[in-house]
Chains A and B, each alone.
Chain A
Amino acid sequence: MSDKCEFHSIALLTKYLAGELARDEEMRLDEHVKTCAACREACDAILDDPAMERLLAPLSAPDGLPGRIIGALPRQPSRTRTFARIAAIAAALIIGLAVGLVLPIGSQTTSNEAFASSLKNQITGFARNARFFNDEVRLLSASDPQRAASIMHSHLRMLSLLETGRQIVSELDSPQSERVFTAEEYRRIREFFLRAARTVGQFEQYGATGALSPQELATLASMSPNLIPAPDLVAPSYGYSLLPGQPPDTTDPAVAAYMEAKRRIFAGDFDSATRQLLSSWDSPSPFLHDVSGFWISWCYREVGEPQKASEYIDSMPKQYRKFLPMEEHRFSFDLSLTPADNSVSIFMFSGRDLNDCVSTHFYNDQDGRIVVGITSDGRVKLVENNTTTEFENMSAMRTARQDVFDKLFPGVLSDR
């Protein structure tokens, strides 16, 4: 406050804020505060309440809220507005928000949630139909970015580079959301994951994502001292899993419960596996919740018992029901799960040749499992009968092995 200011008095300003001054004096101060920066600052200081800010911080409204609301509005042909136009406005709004809100990582003025949420906005413009993905990333703008990180681990994956190399087919863990991204869009998505992951910083269990290259993951690991690369980890993250400190401790009841359930799943004993996993809902492990729900519904679907899958999903806690809408968990490739698959390596593709792949896809045929991996620079590796064949790109693989290509990507690229 200026020394020369006639209203230089905290007591006076406090009375002013409290509405305890006489009307004429209050009006004089109204006028004065409008023009006196020092008094405005003093008023702000009186109103400052760091304790309340700290307590309320996790509740901040998601920054992408307006954009999501506008994006979710239905098409109304009877009116002059159209969804496309609204979407264009939403995109403009989103970009505006993003430009206004994305500050450098580490900025003291940007919360994790706000940052992650604004990044999400950049994606929603071109992933509008990906409800599953949106819901997941929505967690980032919710109150617990750590938990969000453990869930966003691998749900954006590159399927295939097209011939031109300019377009990429990407999946968001949902057949309905598969669509073609331009390379530029995909670059932005990757950037989103990396930056969001950096922002989140600390992962409760693991937070690797298939959208990141090994180099990016190494960078991420170096930035998060609690994480170490765990390429041999028994977890569905394609060899890029990162765990805090060390690989899972199987003496941990939560991990042990998960492993036991998994064993039962692979033994075809789904009812028992379900009971096992349901019994561990009390576990604080987001890893367990995330993975087990997915596994059970998936397994029931695989054995042709959608009703049980549906019942199971209905029995799940609300937050996770959200992430397992029945219609969005169909697998588009032919994968048979039989008791013969009694191995926890099904998601691991333990062949080290695939460790540099940003994406892996597989199916079982009569001779065993066929796995195709795609590296970050677009090379394709085909693992068959423990033998790895490398192709320059997906086109070359397709030319040589149309049968494998059709099995892996039915309907995805057939029209192109």
Chain B
Amino acid sequence: MKPVNALLLGLAIASACGAMAGCVTINIYFPAAAAEKAADRIIDEVWQLGERPGASGEKPGTK
């Protein structure tokens, strides 16, 4: 009974560590989609593209 308990305890600790390590790893990656969204919002504000939806120039083929 005791070795089984020790094994279960070991597994639990290992999976808990794994779960936490996973979180840390996820956060190290650069969030490219979030950065693109942030960039688009700031660029729209600086170039005032929101007020002229037709003149955003986002598609090179439109003109």
Asked if A and B bind, the verdict is no
Give residues in A with beta carbon < 8 Å to B.
none
